[in-house]
Each structure stands twice: as structure tokens, then as C-alpha cells.
Amino acid sequence: MRFGKYEPSDKSSVGTAVTFLLIGMGAGALAALLLAPKSGKQLRKDLRRKYEGALDTLDDWKDEAKERAEDVLDRGAELADELRGAAREKVAPLGRALRRE
């Protein structure tokens, strides 16, 4: 048996905790639906509606993420062009001076 201070591993992450939280929430939601006092037909209808709503939400998130990624890429390209132009302006006099010598 070891004695000493507990030191958490470096591999622990928030992502793992969030994953287990989402799994737990999903299991709880499923248990609540299955134990709810509804008829099978009504429960299936509710499940289908919620499933379609979740798919719509995921599609919206996907579209928003795609738009944001495109915006970031466009801004990155603009910034790279600005930096290239600024570098050319600063290096041009040095290049001219070196060509004279």
C-alpha cells in the first residue's frame, strides 16, 4: 500500500468529464421517457418529434460552424496578405541597398 500525496495524472481533461456528463444526461433522459406514464404510441410520437428536433438543431449548429470556419479562413487570408504587404514594404529598401553594393 502506498502512502503519500495524491497527484492527479496529466491526462485528465475537461473533455472527458463533459463526455461522461452527456452520457449520464442521455441515460437519465432515456430512463425518464421509458418510465413516463404515456402510451406506447404517444411515446414513439414524442421520441420521433424530439429526434427530428435534435437533427434540426445539429444541422443548424453544423451550418453555423461552417460559416464561422469560412469567416476565420477568410480573415486569416486577409491577415496573411496584409503581413506580406507590410513585409515587402520593410524589406524593399534593404533589397535595393544590397543590389547597389
Q: Tens place of pLDDT for every residue, the chain, 101 residues?
A: 566 675 656 556 777 888 899 999 989 988 887 787 777 788 788 889 989 999 999 999 999 999 999 999 999 999 999 988 888 888 888 777 778 76
Question: What distance in Å separates the CA atoms of residue 70 and residue 64, rounded to the nearest whole number?
Answer: 10
pLDDT at 7: 62
pTM: 0.45
Backbone angles phi and psi of 38, in degrees to 5: -125, 160
Written as nine digits, the cell of 58 is 445539429
